[in-house]
Amino acid sequence: MRDVLQRFAWLNMQTAQDAARIRALGAPPARVRVTGNIKFDAVRLVAAPQPDAVLRAELGMPAGTPVFLAAALDKSGCEDGMVIDVWEQLRVHFPSAALIMVPRHPERGPAIAALVTARGYIPRRRSLRETFREPAREVFIVDTIGELGRFYTLARTAYVGKSMYPPGGGQNMIEPISLGIPTVYGPYTSNFRGVADVLGEAGGAWVVQSPHELAEALMVLWSEPQRAAELVARGQAFIRAQQGAVQANLETILAVLPPNAPRE
């Protein structure tokens, strides 16, 4: 690897940890740069949540309904029952709390609907264009593609799944934070190494270790709006500080192109 890495003009890495690893593999230290993660450049920050009024009207969801949204739930189904359990605990203190479940794989909609029915609730599925008029008795399942961002805007708090149980891997936790939504996720986020861990360390998201901690985190965030707002503010400050990776990489590329190469 040392011989291969000597042949690169520059090695642009996402994080300091990545830079240390590639240097350990034999990369020339003077050619290694930390330019950040371009995922951060793809988001637009919204300081305060802006609920999608058109979507809310389409669902028929009562105005002011507080929503716990559980997103990107693992295809194994191990998180499905967990989030229903957490929702039931939340409802002890917040009886009007609603639950929206978003599986990572929308084809799991029927299986989740069967679980919701078995737990004594009425499943309502987005793929069937069903409404969500009685959140106290119903659970809404977003079994479609490309709508998660719209549904995030309706949430008081979001849990980003595929993160509670091993092997996990995690999913995109930048999106809900950028939309002004307090965000919680579990400890197994290896697919977002350098984002999830550092974001948690910066206090921009709440990292929980168990379903019990998830329920406790939600109750704190719902009981203390100022604390929820501070969580979002720190998360957005972290995202803002990470932006600029696209420009940094472009500058590196342009610097090594021949002088007469097209620049457009």
Q: Is 234 helix (H, G, I), strand (E, B) or coil?
A: helix
Query: CA-to-CA distance for 76 and 70, rounded, in angstroms?
Result: 15
In angstroms, the Cα distances linking 202 to 171, 182, 194, 235 are 18, 14, 12, 7
Model-level pTM?
0.90
Please list the residues that pair with 68 across neighbouring strands: 99, 157
Q: What's the start-to-end Cα distance of the chain, in Å?
A: 34
Is the pLDDT score of 262 beyond 90? Answer: no
When pLDDT is cut at 50, 70 and 90, the band that residue 263 belongs to is low
Which domains are seen in the chain, by residue range? 2-36+244-256 (no CATH), 53-242 (3.40.50.2000)
When pLDDT is cut at 50, 70 and 90, the band that residue 264 belongs to is low
Angle at Cα 244 formed by Cα 241 and Cα 250, nearest 5°?
160
What is the phi-psi region of residue 101: left when phi exceeds 0, alpha when psi lies from -120 to 50, beta otherwise? Answer: beta
Per-residue model confidence as pLDDT tens digits over 85-114: 999 999 999 999 999 999 999 999 999 999
Per-residue model confidence as pLDDT tens digits over 159-191: 999 999 999 999 999 999 999 999 999 999 999
